[in-house]
Copies of this chain bind each other. A is one copy, B any other.
Amino acid sequence: MALVLTEEQQLLKNSAREFVAGTFAVDQVRQHRDGTYPGSDTALRYSRDHWQQMAELGWTGIIFPEQYGGLGLGYAELGIVLEELGRALAAQPFVSTVLLAGNTILRGGNEDQKQSWLPGICAGEKVLALAFQESGRFSPWQISTRADATAEGFQISGEKRFVLDAYGADQLVVLTRTSGSSGDRDGLTLFLVDPAAKGVSITELKVLDSRNAALIEFNGTEASAEQVIGEVGKAADILEPVFDCAIAGLNAELVGIMSEAFERTLEYLKTRQQFGALIGTFQALKHRAADMFCEREHAISMTMAALRAIDNKSHDAILLISAAKARTSDAANLIGRESIQMFGGIGMTDEEDIGLFMKRARVAEMTLGDSTYHRERFAQLSGF
C-alpha cells in the first residue's frame, strides 16, 4: 500500500477534521481537569454524547467486521481519525475501548462474547477498559494479579494501575495470572469482569493529561469459566498483537498532537514581535524549526508505514510499529520542549494551550512503552 491517502481516506480525513473542529476544543482538557466540563459526571473526563456521535459516523467500528456492526476497514483508516483527535487533544475512549479491550475480544473471544460486546462498541453504547498494567513501566507479562481456580470458577485478587477509562466503564477485561510467576509469558488468563461485581474497587486517578484512568483493586472477585477470553494460560498470544495495534494507533495520535503543536508554534513565530522583528526571522529559531520539521516528517512516514503494515499483514509490521513508537515519542518530546521554549514565558502559563500538548504527549509517549523500550525492542527484533 502506498504511503499516501486514497481518495476515500482523504474524504474520511476531511470529515474527521471537520467533526473534530466542531466538537472538541483544546480547552476541554482544562475543563476535564478542573471538573467544569458540562455534564452529569465530571469524573468521566470524556463525553458519552460525543462518543455516540463518532459511533454514528462509524469510527468506533472502523476495525471491526461488518457482522458486529463495524465498517471492516483497516488501521490506516483508524489512524486518520486518531490523528485528527490528537490535534484537538480530544479525550475519547478509543484506545481503551476499541484498541485494547475491543480488539482483545475480537481476537480472543468466542462468538458469544463478540456478540455481547462488539456491536455495543460499534454503536457507541459501550465503553470497556483493559486492566493489565501493574507497575510503572510497560512490561506486559509482569503480572501478579491472581485468578485462583475454585469449585465454581475463579477468584481474582490483585491491583491494576493506570487502567485507561476504567472509571465508568461498562465492562472490564482483566489480565490475570493463573499459573507461573510474574514475568512468565505463559500462565496468563483474560477475564471479562463486571465493574460492579463484588470485590472490585475502582479509584479514579488524576493524571497529567486530565483523562480517565483508574486504580482497580480486585479482592476475591468471582469469575466463571464463561468469563474467560480465549484459553486459560494463553492470554499473551491474544494480547501481543493487541498491544502492537494499540501502539500503532497511539503513534497516529502522537502525530496529530505534535503536528498541531508544531503548527501553532510556526504561527507564533510568524506573529510574535521581539526587538522590532518577528521572532520567526531569527535564524537560530528557523534552523531549529527546520529540524523539528524533519523529525515530524519521519514520524509521519513511520506511522503511516506501520499502520499499513498491519493492514497488509506484513512480516515486518512489528518492527515498524516499534520503530514508529520510538520515533513518534522522541519527535513529540522534541516538539513539546521546543514549542514551550519558543512561546517563551506565555508558554509556561496554564492560560496558553501549548503546554497541554506536551502533557498529553508525555502520557502517550510512555503508554505501552516509551522510546527507550521500543528502541530496545527494535534492536531485539533486528537481531543485534
Contacts and interface: CB of A to CB of B under 8 A. Distances in A.
Nearest to A285: B283
A276 to B, nearest CB: 15
Interface residues of A, number: 5
A286 interface: yes
**Can you tell how many copies of this chain the complex includes?**
2
Contacts of A283: 282-284
Contacts of A282: 283
Interface in A269-296: 282-284, 286-287
Contacts of A286: 284
Contacts of A284: 283-284, 286-287
Nearest to A288: B284
A269 to B, nearest CB: 14
A311 to B, nearest CB: 41
A284 B282 CA distance: 8
A1 B286 CA distance: 45
A287 B283 CA distance: 10
A317 to B, nearest CB: 34
A284 B287 CA distance: 7
Contacts of A287: 284
Interface in A282-316: 282-284, 286-287
A270 B283 CA distance: 18
A8 B8 CA distance: 80
A292 to B, nearest CB: 14
Nearest to A282: B283
A284 B284 CA distance: 4
A342 to B, nearest CB: 14
A275 to B, nearest CB: 12
A358 to B, nearest CB: 23
Interface in A18-57: none
Interface in A229-288: 282-284, 286-287
A286 B283 CA distance: 10
A204 B287 CA distance: 46
A23 B4 CA distance: 64
A25 to B, nearest CB: 36
A123 to B, nearest CB: 54
A282 B282 CA distance: 9
A282 B286 CA distance: 11
A286 B282 CA distance: 11
Nearest to A287: B284
Interface string A158-201: 00000000000000000000000000000000000000000000
A326 B313 CA distance: 46
Interface in A133-167: none
Nearest to A290: B284
A295 B12 CA distance: 50
Nearest to A281: B283
A252 to B, nearest CB: 33
A318 to B, nearest CB: 30
6 contacts: A282-B283, A283-B283, A283-B284, A284-B284, A284-B286, A284-B287
